[in-house]
């Protein structure tokens, strides 16, 4: 009997592949390359992706045998869940696999931005010993504004509290008492923009959040503010951020995600006040192992017609 076919369209951890084991025919393709992806989908039963593969209506239509799409990570913005559901395809993800990694990377970018770590590192490696140029700021007694106090936002708050900061958050879905129990004061978006010394985004990408921080919002912030985005590109408008940095209306930024990825060329790269990483929030061995094993288990259950619990 033919084994069900699982198409792995992006890198999956060894541990995840081991969970799939010998029960399936596992094939690999480059999901970011449509000319490879679409034909490869023709006879597969399951598809495993990260964030670079667009599982849109066209991809789903190209996969007549597809029963499950698994996203080895949290965000489902690269999967057309509605088209999948219409086609009877189950969509699963690994919703907690990388939240610790994303929160830790956020803290890394906040500190890197506060202390000019990347800029000073590059300058010194180029032979420049510039101590006053790279004078930074402390976190102590600063106001941290968190946009989206979900799982990752909460972990960021917990990790930053020992730095002696005040944490405020904008989250229209959370009760003020729940936030207060975490030592966080809920505020409106405007209040966060006006009061925070650091603003960090932890919202999913959606019609409502795309461009949430644009030109108007960046005219409301303190000129000393530093913005961090380890969530999704496009939530902070990159052109508006560039202008705000250039005009001195924003002091710095730590950016891990971009509206278009991969992004190897951006006006933001020209600015010394910006530290960037190539969508590394979830890129730790631990997170990838958890994401890989969680989605592989879900794929196994789904293809066996069994109940798939929330990971
Ligand atoms: C996620 O949504 O979980 C991350 O962006 C995963 C990734 O790095 O692909």
pLDDT digits (tens, 9 = 90+) for 171-193: 999 999 999 999 999 999 999 99
Residues 190 and 289 occupy one common structural domain: no
CA of 214 to the centre of ligand 1 (A): 23
Q: Residue written as tokens 């789903």?
A: 60
Residue 27: inside a domain: yes
User: Average pLDDT, stretch 62-85?
Assistant: 97
Whether pLDDT at 1 is above 80:
no
Share of residues in the chain with pLDDT > 90 (%): 97
- Token pair of 15 as six digits: 């541990």
Complex confidence, ipTM = 0.93
pTM: 0.95
The arithmetic mean of pLDDT across residues 39-52, rounded, is 97
Please state, as a whole number, how many other Cβ atoms lie within 10 Å of the Cβ of residue 247: 11
- Residues involved in catalysis: 232, 261, 279
Question: Are 64 and 109 found together in one domain?
Answer: no
- Cβ(74) to ligand 1 under 6 A? yes
- Residue 31: inside a domain: yes
Q: What pLDDT shows up at residue 295?
A: 97
Distance 237 CA to ligand 1 centre (A): 20
Residue 162 lies in a domain: yes
| Number of the ligand 1 atom closest to the C-alpha atom of 94 | 3
For residue 128, what are the contacts with CB-CB under 8 A and spacing of at least 6? Answer: none
The pLDDT of residue 311 is above 80: no
Whichever domain contains 239, its CATH number is 3.40.50.720
Residue with tokens 């992806």: 37
Number of domains composing the chain:
2
Distance in angstroms (rounded) separating the CA atoms of residues 97 and 295: 10
Q: Is 308 part of a structural domain of the chain?
A: no
Nearest to 62 by CA among 35, 94, 25: 35
Q: Which helix (H) or strand (E) holds 9?
A: none
- Find the domain containing 12 and state its range: 5-97+285-303
309 located within any domain? no
Atom of ligand 1 nearest to the CA of 76: 2
Whether 85 and 136 map to the same domain: the answer is no
For the stretch 124-174, pLDDT in tens is: 999 999 999 999 999 999 999 999 999 999 999 999 999 999 999 999 999
- Looking at the structure, do residues 205 and 86 belong to the same domain, yes or no? no
Would you say residue 310 has pLDDT above 80? no
Please tell me whether residues 74 and 211 are part of one structural domain: no
Contact at 8 Å (CB) between 172 and 163? no
> What is residue 94's three-state secondary structure?
coil
282 C-beta closer than 6 A to ligand 1: yes
* pLDDT score of 142: 98
Regarding predicted confidence, which is higher, 299 or 310? 299
Q: What is the DSSP letter of 236?
A: B
In a domain, 310, yes or no: no
């Amino acid at each position: 009997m033919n084994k069900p076919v699982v198409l792995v369209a992006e890198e999956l951890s060894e541990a995840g592949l081991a969970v799939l084991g010998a029960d399936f025919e596992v094939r690999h393709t480059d999901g970011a390359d449509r000319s490879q992806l679409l034909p490869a989908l023709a006879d597969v039963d399951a598809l495993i992706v990260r964030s670079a593969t667009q599982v849109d209506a066209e991809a789903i239509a190209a996969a007549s045998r597809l029963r499950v799409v698994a996203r080895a990570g949290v965000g489902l913005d690269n999967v057309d869940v509605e088209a999948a559901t219409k086609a009877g395809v189950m969509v699963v993800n690994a919703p907690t696999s990388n939240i610790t990694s994303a929160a830790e990377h956020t803290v890394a970018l906040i500190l890197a931005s506060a202390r000019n770590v990347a800029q000073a590192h590059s300058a010194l490696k180029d032979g420049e010993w510039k101590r006053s140029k790279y004078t930074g700021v402390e976190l102590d007694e600063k106001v941290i504004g968190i946009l989206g106090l979900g799982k990752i936002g909460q972990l960021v708050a917990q990790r930053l509290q020992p730095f002696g900061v005040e944490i405020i958050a904008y989250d229209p879905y959370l009760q003020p008492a729940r936030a207060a129990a975490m030592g966080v004061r809920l505020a409106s978006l405007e209040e966060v923009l006006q009061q925070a010394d650091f603003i960090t985004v932890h919202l999913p990408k959606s019609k409502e959040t795309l461009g949430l921080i644009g030109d108007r919002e960046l005219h409301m912030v303190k000129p000393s503010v530093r913005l961090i985005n380890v969530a999704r590109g496009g939530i902070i408008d990159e052109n508006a951020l560039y202008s705000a940095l250039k005009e001195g209306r924003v002091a710095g930024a730590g950016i891990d995600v971009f509206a278009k990825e991969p992004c190897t060329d951006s006006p933001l790269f020209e600015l010394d006040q910006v530290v960037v990483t190539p969508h590394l929030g979830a890129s730790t061995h631990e997170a990838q192992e958890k994401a890989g094993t969680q989605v592989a288990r879900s794929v196994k259950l789904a293809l066996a017609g069994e109940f798939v619990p929330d990971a």
